[in-house]
Structure 1
Amino acid sequence: MPVYLDHAATTPLAAEALAALTRELSRTGNPSSLHGSGRRARRAVEDAREALAAAAGAHPSEVIFTSGGTEADNLAVKGLYWARRAEDPRRTRILCSTIEHHAVLDTVEWLERHEGADVCWLPVDAEGVLDLAALEAELADDPASIALVTVMWANNEVGSIQPVADVVRLAHAAGVPVHSDAVQAFGSVPVDFRGTALDAMSVSGHKIGGPVGVGALLLGRAVKLTPVQHGGGQERDVRSGTLDTASIAAFAAAAKAVTGNLEGESARIAGLRDRLIGGVRSAVPEAVLRGAPGPGRLPGNAHFTFPGCEGDSLLFLLDLAGVESSTGSACTAGVPRPSHVLLAMGLDEDTARGAQRFTLGHTSTDADVDALLAALPGAYARARQAGMAGHESSIQTAGTLARHAAG
């Protein structure tokens, strides 16, 4: 079995979620139907809504089920923008951090290209944490023209936790609503929708041990939002579509399980992370840890840049050694594209291209960390030999080196 160190991408299904999923899949009923099977399905959905609301610090009426975090982000950003602009045509500005997940980033850019949005990109510091002074300055500059602020709770690549409560405080003082993508934070650190007074917040099932294909938008009861899709009027007429009872029940079961032991499990995972970080620094002294230190980063995140090699080459060689990780960057048509997050943090392109993200989760063990630390020095040496000659050639060279090393 491979050693899985990519929990930020998706984490294995929790036992509680699997039990709920299989139970509901064996039953029939549309939650919108009025007969007995429909009412039973509706009860399952509403029980799940209450459980998820409790886990996220929200009221059940604030939970809007979606197909995942990407849909929740699209619904929040587009819906808030359209609703705010409809109330006042001057509201075309969107304040957005430079390190958002592409589900937010690409949505904001789409609104800029097609809907007349004027985007202000909020900078971050060298640790990937939002510059609050820059946000405050933008909010002071004609607040009546601002449609919304969107800032993630924690970054998916380098794990830096953002000052969401301060963002909300500043934005609300200017009369501006705030959305936060909490997909990476929920289930890893305490997340309190009501406590932070957010207007909208996105979460996802498969990041916390639930199934792929279900998520939720937490939306304040007084917040106006224009729907992205139309149909049967489900979910407060905000998100039409037949509800996936089985996935919703499994999502809620995972949320209840993960938040029920959040403090203890987060401490356990953080201990593994710290041992991994120390081991990587010892095995490869040139490696540089990126992101905020200690409690300022997600407990399961360890993101490094490795000089002199392509991150994809290192990933490929580690994979051949039985260790699965991530570069945290996108690659299209064979062209290496350094992470926009690392570039926003001030890294140059060559340095950013050497990124490797190791993320831990509920199935992670000391043996997983040991396996990485055993495989890393040799993989890094071969990746450096492959060099930075170009994405395709470096991967091919890395593959050749790995095959030769294997015999």
Structure 2
Amino acid sequence: MQSEIVIVGGGAGGLELACKLGRKLGPSKVMLVDSRLYHIWKPSLHEVAAGTLDIHQEGLSYQMLAHDNGFTFVYGPMTALDAAQHRLTVGAVRASDGEDVLHERKISYSSLVIAVGSTANYFGVPGAREHTISLNVTEDAERFRLRLLRLMAIAEQAREERRSDATDVTAPLDVVIIGGGATGVELAAELREASGVYATYGFSRLQVERDVRITLLEGAPRVLAPLPERVSSAALKLLNERGIAVVTDCRVTKIEPHAVTDNEGNVYPANLCVWAAGIRAPEFLGTLGLPTNKGGQIEVDARLAVPGVPDVYALGDCAACIDGSGKPVPPRAQAAHQQADYLLKGFVRRAAGKAAFEKPYAYKDYGSLVSLGKTTSVGNLMGSLRGSSWFVEGMMARLMYTSLHLMHHQAVLGSVRTGLLALARFLIRRTTPLVKLH
């Protein structure tokens, strides 16, 4: 197998690059490789975990997208790279019974783009890998959702047996979220909102703030530490109003099957524990012979090319990119989107016989929005006048947050299909439960 441009990783940046290049150059020149068959926008995984978003309705088939956008899709994980020969290896795909569905394959390329995203960084905390769930992929979010449903059923049964003793303040279900960044804050807010909805679908004996106790632990002095203090304060206020306990300056030192311990010796009961305290690049990148930093990210230059390795590029969370000011580009969806557009222009210019990548990549921060449920969000928008910033919250911020998801769909589906999809989901929500119950 061979292709002029091979993109490994169908996340936000990789898929947008494949779709836009495919529409311009065609399937004979553009190939996407991914270890899964369908795509979901990673910032929405907290909604999948809470059950407010159905993965079977949200997921987009790579094979469908390849057909509609004019690129070739190859199913399987990248396992090796021979940069000298311009060839990569895609591993075998096996069924649940161990039988090979697809055998190992070799793919030759003229240009390779690695966009495999990120995974959880446990920082060596004992028990973190074994006793927590990290929202890295859809399977993680579904595992969390199913365990949450099971624990709520157990909690409901416990309340039934106690006949809702008003004097019993013990929480039948303790959820601990480690990490007060965007993922942790969004998950906490979504869980509180979803738990109230679950209570109307058969968990009638549960009082959500009493019986579903949510604790958010953050090592920094405040939640959403990278964002302006006003955004952090607004988010904290909304979390507190919803009965979510927030503990800052908290360093987790040990995680056990049903408890989390911090450096002060405090113990937090945990029936369900989520790790959202940091990310790193996938470990397999360190086996490819490419230069990487301490976080496992592939080092790239100002044009997103890997130094010393001809015709290999990297974008998104897995790339250690330094912007024009000398600062690392943050691991955000907007950065992956911008980098995909930068590489798109360069590859199109090259295909037209022009000089590619004349100007270095420059990251532009347009601000950040954090979802705090289906009705509100908070965030800051960056302006062009001397780096000015505007604070936004409430329904307006929520509409802006929703528009980011629609913009991503527009990039891979087109305007008409994105509009129809949004309308279809609006109608489906009127005929289905507000949370996924099975």
TM-score, shorter chain, exceeding 0.5: no
> Which structure carries more strand by proportion?
2
Higher helix proportion:
1
Greater RCO between the two (CA within 8 Å, min separation 6)? 1
Which band: TM-score by shorter chain? 0.3 to 0.5
